[in-house]
Amino acid sequence: MGFNGTVRGVAVLLGCGLFCQPVLAQDATTGSQWLTYNNRLDGQRYSPLKQINTTNVAQLGEVCRIQIDGPTSLHSGLIVVDGVIYTATGRETVAVDATTCALRWKYTYRADEERVSSSTRGVAVLDGRVFRGTGDGRVIALDAATGKLLWKTEVAAPRLAESTAAAPLAWGGTVYMGVAGSESGVRGRVVALDAQTGRELWRFHTIPMGKETGAETWQRAGTAKTGGGGVWGAMSLDVTTGELFVPVGNPWPDIDKAYRPGANLFTNSIVSLDARTGALRWWYQVSPGDWMDLDMVAPPVMYRGEGTQDLLVFGGKDGYVTAVDRDTRKSVFRTPVTTVITPPKDPPVAGAKMCPGYAGGVEWNGPALDRQNNQLITGAVDVCFNVKLGKAKYKAGALDFGGSIEPVGEDTGWITAVDALTGAVRWKYHAEKPVVAGITPTAGGVTFAGDLAGNLLIFDSKSGALLRKHQTGGALAGGVVTYEAGGTQYLAFADGNISRNAFGALGMPSVVIMALNPQKPQAVVSSASSSGGAQRLYSQVCVACHGTDGAMVADRNLATLKGRQTLAQTIAAIKDPKAPMPKLYPDLLNDQAVTEVATWIREQLH
């Protein structure tokens, strides 16, 4: 059926191949907005817009761009509501006009405690309010029209390295937020808050203890208390069953699995919770007793296949796209979407090469459902590591992998389309750098994507042919969305990123808007604050890898730097760093900024 008209109160079927479902016509989206992290609560990420198509992508041009912060990470999704784009960095939350890039408002968060995380996966918008997490473990609500702070609720403990870097999900008067920090031995959880007041409604611990289901999978007494299982991506929700689907992170310690014998539920799992009560419904664990950091972070996608088979599909840092039958809880298919090398069963002291794991595989943006071609399209990171076993020792708030990790070889990326029913590969594209940004297929027959080299990539969805490769000037690590305003289809994406995942280009955090045949691009707009001094630079750029005290990376302990290096040596190391530290000078940090931050590190962290 191809009918997509609007008839009030009549159920119609939109032309969507195998995945047709009846909807009320007055509720059928026209694609004018992008209301949640993945456009839909079910994670499908598909757009019905078709003005931009396979015949005219060459005519796409930049309408405008706005820099929203100084040098820092930008992993955030973009939300588009009533002509306004909402997004965020670690400190800043912004509302930007979706057609002109004009800044509507900016809210700068002032932390109550030392921040643990310098990044965020994004915001949620519901009933005139914008919700987000903070680096010091709070959830805040802002007025969507003005940016005024409405409430703030503390849900995590920064002193234990807990943070709320995840993208919240808002539905039915409730805000759902994950608590992250697996590498420091937190006990992960999901909390549900009243959207009007911020009052906690319920919480679910991803690491069970006592008489809770799964507690027996932590066979050594006491290890569950520091078991990891952080939630640091986004979630999906099925409004028909009231199920909240939560991707859960890795166990702690990452490598030293002998420290915590057992299957370690619910790490590396997709967990189904009752959205109203937080009660556990069911789970699917991908990697029991993991030592390779094969956590789940991307929100799963839900759809109905042939007959009444309901599928839940997700990508993980194991490098696979996995489909599970929601009724039988059995795997339907499991397809690799990057290089996968099976390592030994147990981590060796001498070291072993593993691919992907750690910073590889499918990161915080997972599969998207191309309804038109009945396929799933997924981006992934192709990178390998040499992993050596060590011995973990828990210290509150400290990072400890229980071993060491070193990257091996080049880092690239993949975009892969697989049959949505069988998992058979339809087409693949090898990107020059990792693909962590959102994937967006459309009814126009094109799929939008991007890589960390700064390339906006546009494909023929059916064939996989690359129709357009456009250098944007900054790494794409967050949202890539499309929407309609005034009869024009727009494409917007998060551009620029400086973080531990900065494998390719860097760039200042910005929002870029494109459309067909735009007028002369408007001047670049900047809403970025001044650096705010060396301490702010450290908290924006350095803290994600080195921690608030500088001691997070044991062999690069900044707290002992003053005794090991002169100021001139520290400045030289920042200007010409060794991998994996990103090169920020001279494009993003000038001489003065480098000197200031080097001096601050030596004087304040010793």
CATH number of the structural domain spanning residue 567: 1.10.760.10
Determine what percent of the chain is predicted with pLDDT higher than 90: 75
Quote the pLDDT of residue 512.
Answer: 97
Quote the pLDDT of residue 495.
Answer: 97
- Beta-bridge partners for 490: 483
pLDDT digits (tens, 9 = 90+) for 58-92: 999 999 999 999 889 999 999 999 999 999 999 99
Lowest mean pLDDT among 150-164, 401-415, 520-534, 572-586: 520-534
Quote the pLDDT of residue 370.
Answer: 98
Q: Per the omega criterion (within 30 degrees of 0), is the bond before 448 cis?
A: no
Q: Summarize the confidence of residues 589-602 as an average pLDDT.
A: 72
Is residue 477 located within the same domain as residue 554? no
Lowest mean pLDDT among 8-22, 149-163, 230-244, 380-394: 8-22
Q: Summarize the confidence of residues 209-215 as an average pLDDT.
A: 98
When pLDDT is cut at 50, 70 and 90, the band that residue 553 belongs to is low
Q: Summarize the confidence of residues 400-418 as an average pLDDT.
A: 94
Q: Which residue has the higher pLDDT, 553 or 302?
A: 302
- Beta-bridge partners for 274: 243
- Does the pLDDT value for residue 230 go beyond 80? yes
Is residue 47 located within the same domain as residue 174? yes
Separation between Cα atoms, residue 317 and residue 354, nearest integer Å = 12
Find out whether 410 and 403 touch, Cβ atoms under 8 Å.
no
When pLDDT is cut at 50, 70 and 90, the band that residue 522 belongs to is low
Can you point out the beta strands (E) in 16-167?
23-24, 60-67, 79-81, 84-88, 92-97, 103-108, 124-126, 129-133, 138-143, 149-154
345 C-beta neighbours (distance < 10 Å), count: 8
Quote the pLDDT of residue 8.
Answer: 31
Find out whether 529 and 516 touch, Cβ atoms under 8 Å.
no
When pLDDT is cut at 50, 70 and 90, the band that residue 18 belongs to is very low
Quote the pLDDT of residue 604.
Answer: 66
The domain boundary, picked from 526, 559, 579, lies at 526
- Phi, psi of 597, rounded to the nearest 5 degrees: -70, -35
Q: Summarize the confidence of residues 331-335 as an average pLDDT.
A: 98
Q: Which residue has the higher pLDDT, 548 or 420?
A: 420
Q: Which residue has the higher pLDDT, 30 or 446?
A: 446
**Residue labelled with tokens 């996966």:** 121
When pLDDT is cut at 50, 70 and 90, the band that residue 480 belongs to is very high
When pLDDT is cut at 50, 70 and 90, the band that residue 537 belongs to is low
Quote the pLDDT of residue 593.
Answer: 73
Separation between Cα atoms, residue 40 and residue 43, nearest integer Å = 6
- Does the pLDDT value for residue 526 go beyond 80? no
The domain boundary, picked from 471, 497, 526, lies at 526
CATH number of the structural domain spanning residue 400: 2.140.10.10
Q: Taking all residues of the chain, what is their mean pLDDT, rounded to a whole number? A: 89
Find out whether 372 and 17 touch, Cβ atoms under 8 Å.
yes
Separation between Cα atoms, residue 117 and residue 417, nearest integer Å = 33
Find out whether 459 and 502 touch, Cβ atoms under 8 Å.
no
- Beta-bridge partners for 176: 169, 192
Is residue 511 located within the same domain as residue 555? no
Write the DSSP symbol of residue 541.
Answer: I
Separation between Cα atoms, residue 530 and residue 532, nearest integer Å = 5
* Secondary structure of 231-280 in HEC code, one letter for each residue: CCCCCEEECCCCEEEEECCCECCCCCHHHCCCCCCCCCEEEEEECCCCCE
Q: Into how many domains does the chain fold? A: 3
Q: Summarize the confidence of residues 558-564 as an average pLDDT.
A: 75
**Residue labelled with tokens 């030592």:** 291
Which domain range does residue 83 map to?
Answer: 31-526
Q: Summarize the confidence of residues 260-284 as an average pLDDT.
A: 98
Quote the pLDDT of residue 456.
Answer: 98
Is residue 116 located within the same domain as residue 183? yes
Q: Summarize the confidence of residues 140-149 as an average pLDDT.
A: 98
Is residue 445 located within the same domain as residue 553? no
What burial class does residue 359 get, using C-beta atoms within 10 Å of its C-beta: 0-12 exposed, 13-18 middle, 19+ buried? Answer: buried
When pLDDT is cut at 50, 70 and 90, the band that residue 23 belongs to is very low
pLDDT digits (tens, 9 = 90+) for 280-319: 999 999 999 999 999 999 999 999 999 999 999 999 999 9
When pLDDT is cut at 50, 70 and 90, the band that residue 51 belongs to is very high
When pLDDT is cut at 50, 70 and 90, the band that residue 103 belongs to is very high
Q: Summarize the confidence of residues 224-251 as an average pLDDT.
A: 98
Quote the pLDDT of residue 118.
Answer: 86
- Does the pLDDT value for residue 576 go beyond 80? no
Is residue 14 located within the same domain as residue 40? no
Is residue 563 located within the same domain as residue 423? no
Quote the pLDDT of residue 567.
Answer: 76
The domain boundary, picked from 469, 497, 526, lies at 526
Amino acid found at 601? I
Per-residue CA distances from 336 to 90, 402, 592 (Å): 32, 27, 46
Is residue 135 located within the same domain as residue 90? yes
Quote the pLDDT of residue 12.
Answer: 32
Lowest mean pLDDT among 7-11, 223-227, 357-361, 442-446: 7-11
- Does the pLDDT value for residue 21 go beyond 60? no
Is residue 509 located within the same domain as residue 414? yes
- Does the pLDDT value for residue 571 go beyond 80? no
Give the distance from CA 424 to its chain's centroid.
26
Quote the pLDDT of residue 25.
Answer: 30
Following CA atoms 597, 599, 601, 605 in sequence, which dihedral angle do they give, to the nearest 10 degrees?
-150
Is residue 78 located within the same domain as residue 158? yes
- Phi, psi of 560, rounded to the nearest 5 degrees: -105, 10
Quote the pLDDT of residue 10.
Answer: 32
Q: What are the structure tokens assigned to 198, written together?
A: 């911020």
Alpha-helical runs (H) found in 127-195: none
- What does pTM read for this prediction? 0.88
- Does the pLDDT value for residue 471 go beyond 70? yes
Q: What are the structure tokens assigned to 94, written together?
A: 């912004």
Is residue 550 located within the same domain as residue 445? no
Is residue 461 located within the same domain as residue 550? no
